[in-house]
Amino acid sequence: MPSVGVKIYSVFFKLFLRHRLQSLAAAAAGDPDNAAFGVSCRPDEATAPPNPAFSAAADGVASKDLHIDPNSSLSVRIFLPTPPPPSPHAHLLAHAHPRRASDPTPTTPAPAPANGAPYRGYLPHAVSSPRAAASARRRLPIVVQFHGGGFVTGSNTAAANDAFCRRVAKLCDAIVVAVGYRLAPESRYPAAFDDGVKVLKWIAKQANLAMMTKVGGGVDTFGASTVEPWIAAHGDPARCVLLGASCGANIADYVTRKVVEDGKPFDPVKVVAQVLMYPFFIGSVPTHSEIRLANSYFYDKSTCLLAWRLFLSEKEFNLDHPAANPLAPSRRAPPLKCMPPTLTVIAEHDWMRDRAIAYSEELRKVNVDSPVLDYKDTVHEFATLDVFLKTPQAQACAEDIAIWMKKYISLRGHEFSY
């Protein structure tokens, strides 16, 4: 069973969350002109400031915020782990083969200074040839993360989400792109899902623009000024993983299906795996866990139903809506056998667990690698709520995710080669 502290915290959390949702429901009939732009965070939620300096971050992960869509509030927070120091033989190679004026000037990560001085970013480093430059540059896989909150609360810059993304970036040695999608009821379905698709297309655009800058020996071409250097210089779009927590898992699964259905608009991004953490699935026919754990900790079923009513319009509200039930008969999507490997994380005291298990079982029936990690004495969002971030289960969950993920993001195909 969860600890006494968790139980007490859960009572106050549910009271606060229900009050917030009821307030949002009362104000749902707001200004329709602002619905398109929307909001991606609530003013009463604590946020963590971005930290672009590696030396100032105790965990060695830098972050920065970008507003990537001028027509909406869609934003991302990018997390980049500390780059490794250059090869000790790099200076010998440079002196033995001086760079010619016609050679491009690629960049390699500069190490974080040992004396605690501010990190100055990525410095030019002379190499003997473009081939040597390609081997010297470290490309990191990209993890696109969608936070939870029932589509109506939460933020990609919240302190809890910030800490979780830093942990993932460090353990997986990957760039993490945390998505600040539009929230309901200001922006109802399909706004959050569309934002997930936009972010993946934005990452593809960064990769394509980075390729364009190589034309003419590194001379900038049109559009190069819009390139995000952390993505363009150090991200590998061919090793992309979608990770979603709670309702973020619904978004991740939706975006994955879009990529499977038609990958051309996302090229060169390749989704090699997805991680669904306690997905926010529901259906019209209740499962055993939905009956037994209906009044479970933190996110009980009645509160979640209120969140679904805020996310779906009154006309569209249906517990078997494609956004809510991945196994609904009416859901038009690519065959499950086309889906990438899918890791599902569930909690022992979560009323949504049976629906997540059922989805994973359907994937296994068509030979998709889809294991389930079930954590004892845990509740919904146990690994991403700030009060649980330092618990053994939260740490173990992040480590387990990293171990499984590296099977698909490592360059040689197994976790020990990355």
For residues 119, 124, 126, 127, the Cα torsion angle rounded to the nearest 10 degrees is 90
- Other Cβ atoms less than 10 A from the Cβ of 257: the count is 20
Instruction: Quote the CA–CA distance of 185 and 42 in Å, as a whole number.
Output: 12
Active-site annotation holder among 63, 246, 360, 370: 246
Distance CA 152, CA 115 (A): 44
* 87 noted as active-site residue: no
If 0-12 CB within 10 Å is exposed, 13-18 middle and 19+ buried, where does residue 238 land?
middle
Distance CA 172, CA 273 (A): 13
Instruction: List, in sequence order, the alpha helices (H) in 137-281.
Output: 159-172, 191-212, 229-234, 247-261
| 149 vs 350: CA distance, rounded Å | 15
Using alpha carbons, list the distances in angstroms from residue 118 to 51, 57, 166: 11, 10, 19
- Indicate which residue of 125, 234, 321, 380 is catalytic: 380
Question: Which of the residues 162, 194, 195, 350 is marked catalytic?
Answer: 350
Alpha helices, DSSP H, located in 51-190: 90-96, 130-136, 159-172
Helix (H) or strand (E) holding 156: none
Task: Of 84, 249, 83, 81, give the one whose Cα is nearest residue 167.
Answer: 81
Contact 366, 313 (CB under 8 A): no
25: nearest Cα among 198, 150, 194: 150
Which CA distances in Å does 223 have to 60, 203, 227, 228, 375? 31, 14, 7, 11, 47
- 334 neighbors 257 (Cβ within 8 angstroms): yes
Token pair of 290 as six digits? 């939905």
Task: Say if strands 235-245 and 140-146 run parallel, antiparallel, or are unpaired.
Answer: parallel
Q: Does the active-site annotation cover 246?
A: yes
Residues with Cβ within 8 Å of 314's Cβ and at least 6 positions away in sequence, in order, are none
Examine the residue annotation and report whether 350 is marked as an active-site residue of this protein: yes
Q: What is the DSSP letter of 85?
A: P
Q: What would the two tokens of residue 367 be? A: 């030979």
- List, by residue number, the catalytic residues: 246, 350, 380
